[in-house]
Amino acid sequence: MWDLFKKKALKEHTSNVLSDFEDDSSLDASNLLELLDDSMYEHHNEIDIPTLDLDNVDWDKKIVLIMDDNETIVFFIEQDFLVLQNLSEKLKSKTPLSISERRLINIIDDDNQLMNFLLDFNKDDYSLIKVTSEYAAFAIRNNIKRIKRVDFAILDILLGGSIQDDETRQRINLTGIDVAKDIIDTVKKDVNLAFYTGCDLGKYSYETVMFKELLPDKKDLRNYVIPKDMDIADRRVKVLKLLLGREVNDKVD
């Protein structure tokens, strides 16, 4: 739907430029491409980068940054905190579990550290910073010095938004990997990372290589990836691992 909206807006904008061209008798056909290029540059830079709402962040709690260009994805991860809290309470009260809850327990049953962490889990220990937009990475970069601390970051890798550099007029794209580097360089070096992504990553994928180049002190990108097509119970286990301070993927070929 968003792509259709952008195409419609672009079509309307181009139509307006052509209309102005036809109404201006001082212009000839040789001016049209230059006119369109200048106008599209201005149009592309009229971008509504979202503000970063930090007013309600409780900095005394553990800070979790969640960034994705899909609002539903951010909602899913936020709900994971509530589900883990409810599961913890059920285990302590010995309340019967649902099928999905039993599946989650079966996954971590032989991991005593993770099980004990789940038993003590309290969603109120965390304060979430949620950024949802195709320009979310730009919003974080623009406000990085306002962010006092990030203990955990769950980042989408590829976002749809790009902006145009004022001087070179080249398109600038920021990824979740860029945001991770910004956090490590500016906010907290030992932030716990996870990338919630639909990218099909291999050892020599572009994103994997980019991650190694930007963050050479980190392990393989795939150690930090939560696939978006993953089963819900598996995803929640990985979120639990992240919050425990472990890599979400223990073994990567």
In tens, the pLDDT along 63-114 reads 999 999 999 999 999 999 999 999 999 999 999 999 999 999 999 989 999 9
Intervals of the chain under pLDDT 50: 1-10, 13-14, 17, 21, 36, 39-44
Alpha helix ranges (H) inside 94-198: 99-108, 112-119, 136-142, 176-182
Please say whether the beta carbons of 64 and 129 come within 8 A: yes
pLDDT at 38: 52
Report the distance separating Cα 91 and Cα 80, nearest Å: 16
Report the distance separating Cα 154 and Cα 192, nearest Å: 9
Q: What is the pTM of this model?
A: 0.81
| Strand 192-197, strand 162-164: pairing | unpaired
pLDDT at 221: 95
